[in-house]
A and B are shown apart, each in its own frame.
Chain A
Amino acid sequence: MFKRHESKDISGCAVVGIMNEKGKTMRGDVITNAIAVMHERSNGLGGGFAAYGIYPEFKDYYAFHIMFEDEGVKDEVETFLQDNMVLVKSEAIPVRKKMSLMNTPILWRYFLEVPKSKIPSGFSEEDFVVSVVMRINIRFNGAFVFSSGKNMGIFKGLGYPEDVSRFFRLEEYEGYLWTAHGRFPTNTPGWWGGAHPFGLLDWAVVHNGEISSYGINKRYLEMFGYECTLMTDTEVIVYMLDLLLRKHNLPQDIALTALAPPFWKEIDEMDKNKKEAMTALRMVYGSALLNGPFSIIISSSNSMIGMTDRIMLRPMVVARKQDTVYMSSEESAIREVCQDPDEVWSPQGGEPVYARLEEKA
Chain B
Amino acid sequence: MKIDAKGLNYRELNERIHDAVSKGVDEIDLVNVLGQRYIGTGLDREVTLNIYGTPGSDLGAFMDGPKINVFGSGQDDIGNTMNSGSIVIHGDAGNVVGLSMRTGKIFVKGSVGYRAGIHMKAYQDQCPVMVVGGKAGDFLGEYMAGGKLILLGIFKKEKDQVAGRYIATGMHGGVIYIRGGVNKNQVGRDVAVEEVTDEEKAEIRGEIEEFCRHFGITRIDDIMASPFVRLSPKSSRPYGKLYAY
Query: A residues within 8 Å of B by Cβ?
Result: 37-38, 40, 266, 269, 311-312, 315, 317, 330-333, 335-336, 344, 346, 348-349
Assembled-state Cα–Cα distance A311/B140 (Å): 12
Judged by a CB distance under 8 angstroms, whether B124 is at the interface is no
Most buried by A among B37, B95, B139: B95
Picked from B37, B94, B138, B165, the residue with its CB within 8 Å of the CB of A331 is B94
Within 8 A of A (CB), among B137-152: 137-139
Assembled-state Cα–Cα distance A346/B164 (Å): 13
Within 8 A of A (CB), among B28-57: 34-35, 37, 53-54, 56-57
Write out, one digit per residue, whether chain B residues 86-97 have a CB within 8 A of any chain A CB (1) or not (0).
Answer: 000000101100
Within 8 A of A (CB), among B150-198: 164-166, 185
Picked from B35, B138, B185, the residue with its CB within 8 Å of the CB of A330 is B35
The answer on a CB contact under 8 Å between A349 and B35 is no
Distance (Å) between the CB of B155 and the closest chain A CB?
A: 13
Judged by a CB distance under 8 angstroms, whether B76 is at the interface is yes
The answer on a CB contact under 8 Å between A330 and B75 is yes
Assembled-state Cα–Cα distance A330/B54 (Å): 10
Q: Besides the contacts A312-B114, A330-B75, what 13 more A-B pairs have beta carbons closer than 8 Å?
A: A37-B35, A40-B10, A40-B56, A266-B165, A311-B138, A311-B139, A315-B95, A331-B94, A335-B34, A344-B73, A346-B92, A348-B164, A349-B138
Write out, one digit per residue, whether chain B residues 72-84 have a CB within 8 A of any chain A CB (1) or not (0).
Answer: 0101100000000
The answer on a CB contact under 8 Å between B137 and A312 is yes
The answer on a CB contact under 8 Å between A331 and B185 is no
Judged by a CB distance under 8 angstroms, whether B113 is at the interface is yes
The answer on a CB contact under 8 Å between B114 and A330 is no
Assembled-state Cα–Cα distance A38/B10 (Å): 11
The answer on a CB contact under 8 Å between A37 and B10 is no
Assembled-state Cα–Cα distance A344/B164 (Å): 19
Assembled-state Cα–Cα distance A317/B35 (Å): 13
Picked from B56, B94, B164, the residue with its CB within 8 Å of the CB of A317 is B94
Distance (Å) between the CB of B208 and the closest chain A CB?
A: 25
Assembled-state Cα–Cα distance A336/B139 (Å): 30
The answer on a CB contact under 8 Å between B113 and A312 is yes
Residues of A within 8 A of B113 (CB): 312, 315, 346
Chain B residue at minimal CB-CB distance from A39: B9
Chain A residue at minimal CB-CB distance from B73: A331
Picked from A266, A311, A312, A335, the residue with its CB within 8 Å of the CB of B54 is A335
The answer on a CB contact under 8 Å between A312 and B138 is yes
Q: A348-B137, A349-B138 are in contact. Are A37 and B73 (CB under 8 A)?
A: no
Assembled-state Cα–Cα distance A38/B165 (Å): 30
Assembled-state Cα–Cα distance A1/B76 (Å): 35
Residues of A within 8 A of B73 (CB): 331, 344
Distance (Å) between the CB of A220 and the closest chain B CB?
A: 28
The answer on a CB contact under 8 Å between B34 and A311 is no
Assembled-state Cα–Cα distance A330/B78 (Å): 13
Chain A residue at minimal CB-CB distance from B55: A332
Q: A38-B35, A40-B10, A346-B94 are in contact. Are A332 and B114 (CB under 8 A)?
A: no
The answer on a CB contact under 8 Å between B57 and A330 is yes
Residues of A within 8 A of B57 (CB): 330
Distance (Å) between the CB of B166 and the closest chain A CB?
A: 8
The contact sample of 20 A-B pairs, CB cut-off 8 A, is A266-B165, A311-B114, A312-B114, A312-B115, A312-B138, A315-B113, A317-B94, A330-B75, A331-B54, A332-B35, A332-B56, A333-B35, A335-B54, A336-B34, A336-B35, A346-B113, A346-B137, A348-B137, A349-B114, A349-B138
